Amino acid sequence: MPWRGKPTVRPRAASSPSSILLPLPPPGLAPRPMAGGGTGAEAGADREQERAAPEGAGGETVPPHAWRPAPSLEPCARCSPPPRSLCLTLGDIFIAVKTTKRFHQSRMELLLDTWISRAREQTYVFTDEEDDALKRRMGNNLCSAEHSHLALSCKMAAEFDAFLASGRSWFCHLDDDNYLNPRALLKLLSSYSATWDIYLGKPSLNRPIWASEILPNNQTVHPKSVHFWFATGGAGFCISRKLASKMVPWASGRNFLSTSELIRLPDDCTVGYIIECKVGGQLLPNPLFHSHLENLQLIPASLLTQQVTLSYGVFENKLNVIELSGPFSPQEDPSSRFRSLHCHLYPDTSWCLQTVGW
């Protein structure tokens, strides 16, 4: 058969200073939205927009009726796709959960009862205060440290350094209002290789964020404007070891705090800044990650098993949770529906089997 040349692949449209460590769809590049302009002063406004509006499957702000299921993503036409990790196990993944003392009981106990029970040895909790009850449940996977961007950056630095020391292949960051489906995460990461520069997550804006980079000796008369994509920490994100190793000069130890101060933005923005502006990597947007900033009720129940992360919260003074029937009523499982979700995903869980009529 004569050689016909390389086919053109067209992307389809996306239808606290100290820290404590507690033990516990197909691959490809999603098409990026068109980059938008802006100034350094827009950085704060961008963050406000992120908190105020729901997201679409690719991170763009969309009306509630416009939720789209995960698109079928095709490899970039400019390069060959990375080799897949055919033998990846959960033991190759370092899962970091960021929390704070006031959420130990209301949020962390829920996570411990649900998804963490399926990935306890791979999950590490980073918080701001010691907690004997939490430590008893988590064993040796505990890390301890306020919710300013400086404190958050310290937690992220602790997460990053703990991952580097672990020797594992993948670093995945989550917030304490996320439900992680370990099975879906393993399937997603198995589509990539940790020996490639991989940064997976969900952008919260439909354009790069702009910031003013402070020059040495606080020379802000003519600050340097930078723009970059970042994966919102509220939906979770994952980084390969190959890429993480390149981030060390800016992300390890107190270097992360110093880097964060250069752009004066939160920790998830700082991660994106390091990867794009310092290392030369790029975000691979993935629609299987979800934060509380999008309308979660519009995700079809039939697709919940495919999602890597889910969340919950309040949007426009209304509870923002996934739509799911049983086995627990909204009164029994009100704030997140995570218990009902967990029983749908892992029905062999002991307390799911004990549920009447399930």
Distance, in Å, from the CA atom of 230 to the CA atom of 107, rounded to the nearest integer, reads: 25
Question: Do the beta carbons of residue 149 and residue 31 sit within 8 Å?
Answer: no
Catalytic residue at 177?
no
Distance, in Å, from the CA atom of 65 to the CA atom of 276, rounded to the nearest integer, reads: 33
* Interhelix angle 241-251/149-166, nearest 10 degrees: 130
Distance, in Å, from the CA atom of 321 to the CA atom of 310, rounded to the nearest integer, reads: 9
91 contact partners, CB below 8 Å, separation of at least 6: 121, 122, 168
Question: Do the beta carbons of residue 191 and residue 26 sit within 8 Å?
Answer: yes
Question: Do the beta carbons of residue 156 and residue 271 sit within 8 Å?
Answer: yes
Question: Do the beta carbons of residue 94 and residue 62 sit within 8 Å?
Answer: no
Q: CA torsion sign, 102 to 163 to 51 to 49?
A: positive
The active-site residue, picked from 177, 197, 268, 333, is 268
Half-sphere exposure of 48 (CA within 13 A, CB side): 5
Question: Do the beta carbons of residue 243 and residue 160 sit within 8 Å?
Answer: no
234 contact partners, CB below 8 Å, separation of at least 6: 175, 177, 178, 204, 268, 291, 292, 293, 311
Got the DSSP string for 279-337?
A: I----EE-TT---TTS-GGGS-GGGGGG-SEE--EEETTEEE------SS-TTTS-SS-
Give catalytic residues, as residue numbers. Answer: 268
